[in-house]
Every structure is written in structure tokens, then in C-alpha cells.
Amino acid sequence: MTREKLSEQIHDKTLLLNSIIDNTKETFSMMHACAKGIIDEFSSKYPKEFLFSKKNEREFEIRFGSDILVFMMHTNVFEFSRYHEVMRLPYVQQDKTRSFCGVINIYNFLTDSFDYNRNYDLGYLIGRLFVNKEKHYFIEGKREVGMLYSNFNTSVIDKESVESIIMSSMEYANNFDLLTPPFDEVKEITVDEIKSHVASRNHITAKRLGFEFQQDKE
């Protein structure tokens, strides 16, 4: 490969990645605004149950009831494995650069895990939003949150779709209940833990700790 050809390829790739990052930032900004609007609306009626908090340019969280949803935008662009279902879509096969996407992750935590500094508690990735150079998107996620890969060629991110993603994520988290873990998994505790009220890794709190959770297979 000549130097000219190599420099051209690097230039083209840089332009592609930058356009995807710009689209992802725009999407994240839209999610930020929509989430704040939803929480402001809900908190006007139930002020003690809903809270919006911006952490930085790439992260914000919403609190509702006993749940927290953390929205995080990754700074890098990713491509799917050649074995991924998306790579089989005619939309992607016609232009392989459509498979490069920015990513926004949605995590679900218990509010008490943050409020009581239970740093070993577990959260769950309930959805991740992929956005490409044409602002087409799809979501990998749990039931209410996810969508069909086959819609990637027609689904373009906009305010309506972003609001739907946020509402669906809140619905999923609200219906994803905390269950008591099996007795034998939490029957031991040290004197130090009792005295200091510090949870060790043997006493992690999570919504489905120690249980076979069917939705995690879907």
C-alpha cells in the first residue's frame, strides 16, 4: 500500500468515526433533555420520589422509587462481530460502515446501594443503544427495553424514540423486583461487618442475587 493510499484510508476512517461520535453525542444530549423533562413532570406531582442528576457530559442518572437508572455514553466507536445478527442485515451488507456504532449504556441500581455506600452491590445492564453514521439505531436489552435488529434499517433516532427508550427502561426497572437471596448464601457474617456495618462481597445486595432469572437468558 502506498503512503498516499494509507493516509487516505486513515483520513476516511477518522471522518467516519467522528461523524458517529457526533451523532452519539447528539443522541445523548437528547436523552439528557428528555429524561430531565420526564422527571420534572413526574416530580411535580410526586416531588419526593423522582430526581434527575447530571454527573458529567457523558453520564446522568434518574432516581425513582427504589431504583436508579444510570445513562452512560462511551467515548469510543464499536463494530459488531461478524457473527452478530446485525451483520446479516441487507442494510449493513450494502454498506459495511453502517455497522460502526456509538454506544449508550443503561444500568439499573438500587437507590439504597448509592445512599448507603454499599460499594459491592450489583447493578444490571438493562439496555444499550447503538447509533450509526446515519443516526439509525437499535437497542439490545431486556424485554420492554429491547427492539428487533431487523428495524435497524428504518429506525432513525429522534425525540419520540428517545422518550420511549427512557420510559421503557423505567418500566422495566420498576417491574424488576428485589428478591431475598437463598438463606445459605447469606447466613455468615463477620464481627467486623456487624460492628462497622460494612457489607462484604459475601453479602452483596442485588435484585436477583442467587436466583436463576429467566429474563437474563432472553
Report the pLDDT averaged over residues 17-39: 98
For residue 144, give the C-alpha cell: 420492554
Report the pLDDT averaged over residues 161-166: 94
Q: What is the pLDDT of residue 215?
A: 43
CA angle 105, 34, 60 (to 5 degrees): 45
As a whole number, the mean pLDDT across the chain is: 85
Q: What is d(CA 134, CA 2) in angstroms, rounded to the nearest whole number?
A: 30
Read off the pTM: 0.83
Q: What is d(CA 148, CA 143) in angstroms, rounded to the nearest whole number?
A: 11
Q: What is the pLDDT of residue 212?
A: 38
Cα-Cα-Cα-Cα dihedral sign, residues 133, 138, 139, 140: negative
Report the pLDDT averaged over residues 181-191: 59
Q: Is the per-residue pLDDT at 117 higher than 90?
A: no
